[in-house]
Structure 1
C-alpha cells in the first residue's frame, strides 16, 4: 500500500483491484476501484497522478486512476528493451494483444469492446476495427492461417473474426454458460479450444 499526493491510500489486493481510499474521510466509492486483468502483487505512486501496479503477467501504469489506452512499441536489443518512440492509440484500456503467427498483424482488444488489427509493415496502420461484444473482451488468439482470430469476453461470447472483412464474423454464444471465457487456443485453423472458470475445456469446429 502507498499514500499518493492527493492524500489517498492506494492498495492492491487478491481481488484483482486497486483501491483509492480518501484518508481524511476514511471511505472509498465504487468509482475509486480499478479492476485489473491479473492479480496485482505490488503498487507504487508518483507525482502527476501516476500509479504503477505490478501484476502477475503484466505491469500496468495508470494516470489519474485510469489506464492510458496506448500501446508502446519496443525493440529487443541483447538483454535490454529499447523504446521505438512510437505509440499506438486504442479505444480504451487494453485487455489483451497478440501478433499473428507470421508477424504481419497486431490484434488488440480493449475495455470499450473493440478489437483493432494493425498492419505491422505499414507502420502499424489500422487494418480493421471489429465490434460485437456486449461486455469487455478479455482474451484473444490468432488462427494458424493468420486470416482469422478469436476473441472471448465477459459477455460469455466468443467471436471468430476475418481480418480482411470486419462484417464477416462467426459468433459462439454462451460458450461457457454463467462464466466468462478466460482462455482461447487454436489446434488448427478449423479447431478452437475455449476455457472458463466453470472448470471445463471445450473444443469447437469452426466452418468459414
Structure 2
C-alpha cells in the first residue's frame, strides 16, 4: 500500500478492498488492480459484498458510498446511505442479505440489500462509541463492541432482543470481534488478552 491501511474486507473471486488514509484500493489475488485517490471525503472503513458485486465505503461525514465492482474497477453509481454520525465499522452478513453499520453517535443500523438498502432496524444500547462489529454465521445475529467496554449481541428481526456482555475487558475497550461458530464469540482488546465467550440465545 502507498498509505496506511485502516480497514480491509474480502469477497469471492479473490477480491479485497483496502481503505487507506486518503485512498481506496481494490485488490485481486493480492495484486492492486484499482485505486481511488483525491477523495472528497475521509474514508474510514470498507466492506465488500460477499458476492463481490458492491464495495461499500463509510466516511467520517456519516455517509456510506456504494460503488459497483465492474471487472477490475470501482464505479461510483452516485448511491449513498446517510447515517447520524461518522462510521466506525460495518460489515455485510455472510449471506449478503444485510449491511450492518455502527457510528460514533452510538447508533447501530441494519439495511436490507435486496430492498435498495432500506433500513431494516436501528439498535441502541452502547453508552460510548461502538468501534467493532461482526456477524454470526447464522446471519440472524451480530455483535458490536464499544468504548464502554460492553459487547451486545443483536437479533436482526427484533431490536429489543439483545444480549449484553458487560465488562468484557476491564482494563481497555473491545478492539475486535470474531465468531468461531453460532454460539462462540471471541473478543480482543488492547489489554493484551483474547477471550472466548459462549453465547446462549
1:6-85 correspondence runs (5 A)? 67-85=60-78
| Alignment match, 2:128 | 135
The offset of 1:52, in angstroms, is: 5.9
CA RMSD of aligned residues (A): 2.8
Paired residues for 1:47-196 under 5 Å? 67-196=60-189
Structure 1 position 84, deviation (Å):
2.1
Moved over 4 A (4+): 38-42, 50-61
Residue number in structure 1 paired with 2:33: none
How many angstroms does 1:68 deviate by? Answer: 1.4
Q: Deviations over 1:57-84 (max 9, x none)?
A: 89986xxxxx310110011111110112
The structure number with the bigger radius of gyration is 1
- C-alpha contact 2:149 2:167 (8 A) present in aligned 1: yes
Q: TM-score, normalised by structure 2?
A: 0.73
The 8 Å contact of residues 41 and 56 in structure 1, kept in 2 or not, is answered as: no
Q: Is the 8 A contact 2:41 2:61 kept in 1?
A: no
Structure 1 stretches of 5 or more lacking a match?
A: 1-13, 17-37, 62-66
The unaligned stretches of length 5 or more in structure 2 are 7-18, 24-37, 48-56
Number of aligned positions between the proteins: 162
Separation in 1, partners of 2:40, 2:135:
32
1:136 and 1:157 mapped to 2: Cα distance? 10
- Confirm or deny: 8 A CA contact 2:42 2:61 kept in the other structure: no
